[in-house]
Amino acid sequence: MSKISRRNFLKSAVAVSAMPLLVNAKKNKKETLRFIHVTDSHMDLSNNESVEAMQLMAEFINNNYKNLDFVLFGGDNFNNNAPKDSDARKFKEIADTLYCPYYSVRGNKEAFPKGDKHINLQEFKNMFCSSKALHVKGKDWLLQAKGYNILGLDSCIENHNNGAYTEETLSFTENILQKNKPTVILNHHPYTNYWGGTEEKDIHKYVLNNTKEVQKRLFKYKNLLLTLSGHKHIDSVKEIQGTKVIVTRGFIRPLDLDMYPMRYVELNGNNINEKLIYTS
């Protein structure tokens, strides 16, 4: 039987005693969550350029952002004006070419079906909220990823351009925030008149109608790190009570030919790194 030297015995003892520390260090190491926010693409089957832009979006992400956890679509993804669900199916067909998962909320376009010929709420949920990764409650969903809660909240009012959170949505969100995990909210309607509009009709259309109540009930939670909205198509990065509040420039508003905007986001702990990116 071979003998173990005193020196090797001590080295082995140190290695064994250090193992719990290494395990704990691995547990405590924060993982970086990476995703892209695309909003207001307004894909329209009567406009070939809008369809090609979405195809360009998927190709650009697949070629240039290879380590994403997912892509978030923020509403008005398609104009919901094609017969039956043909535009919704085309949008899904393109989004399905992404190498990573994607998750969607509705915008006012998806909430504005003209009769039975276009997609409605239940059809949207069946098509875009059926992932096993999502916990769906009413109009809203929860995604858990790398220690974060991602909430997809439906701020739409059926057959209207303006929006508001229902009591069901507010209660659902409060219940999640009370769990004290870092949380991100994805929705369509922005929380403030960040563009400085002066017409009441314009503000009513674009700002979440019950934003005062929403800010009072939701933004008091320190673990609400980030919100992502769209609707107005104008880019903005601000804070409400310590929460970073982002409205991403509408995908439909290219900077130049084939330069369609999206937002790249990295979360690590409470740190948020984000930037507006373009397809070219």
pLDDT attached to residue 29: 57
The confidence band for 22, taking pLDDT boundaries of 50, 70 and 90, is very low
Instruction: Return the pLDDT at 117.
Output: 66
- Is the pLDDT at 21 greater than 80? The verdict is no
Percent of the chain with pLDDT over 90: 84
pLDDT score for 26: 45
Answer whether residue 23 shows pLDDT above 90. Answer: no
User: Tell me: domain 34-278, CATH 3.40.30.10, correct?
Assistant: no
The DSSP secondary structure of the chain, one letter per residue, reads: -PPPPHHHHHHHHHHHHHHHHHHHHHHHPPPPEEEEEE----B-TT-HHHHHHHHHHHHHHHHH-TT-SEEEE-S--B---SSBTHHHHHHHHHHTTSSS-EEE---TTTT---GGGB--HHHHHHHHS--TTEEEETTEEEEEETTEEEEE---B-TT-SSB---HHHHHHHHHHHTT---EEEE-SS-SS-TT----HHHHHHHS-TTHHHHHHHHTT-TTEEEEEE-SS---EEEEETTEEEEEPPPTTS-SSTT--EEEEEEEETTEEEEEEEE--
Return the amino acid letter for 171.
S
pLDDT, one tens digit per residue, over 147-198 is 999 999 999 999 999 999 999 999 999 999 999 999 999 999 999 999 999 9
Tell me if 244 sits within 8 A of 233, measured CB to CB: no
Structure tokens at 17: 């005693």
Backbone φ, ψ for residue 126 (5° rounding): -60, -35
User: For residue range 73-89, what is the model confidence (pLDDT) as tens digits?
Assistant: 999 999 999 888 899 99
The answer on pLDDT for 19 being more than 80 is no
Percentage with pLDDT > 70 across the chain: 88
Residue 27 has pLDDT above 70, yes or no: no
Residues linked to residue 226 through DSSP beta bridges, in sequence order:
184, 244
57 contacts 100 by C-beta, under 8 angstroms: no
pLDDT tens digits, 220-260: 999 999 999 999 999 999 999 999 999 999 999 999 989 99
The pLDDT value given to residue 278: 98
The yes-or-no verdict on residue 4 having pLDDT over 80 is no
Domain boundaries, the chain: 34-278
pLDDT, position 119? 87
pTM for the complete prediction?
Answer: 0.89
Q: What is the pLDDT of residue 136?
A: 98
Residue 132 has pLDDT above 90, yes or no: yes
> pLDDT tens for residues 33-67?
999 999 999 999 999 999 999 999 999 999 999 99
| pLDDT number for residue 8 | 54
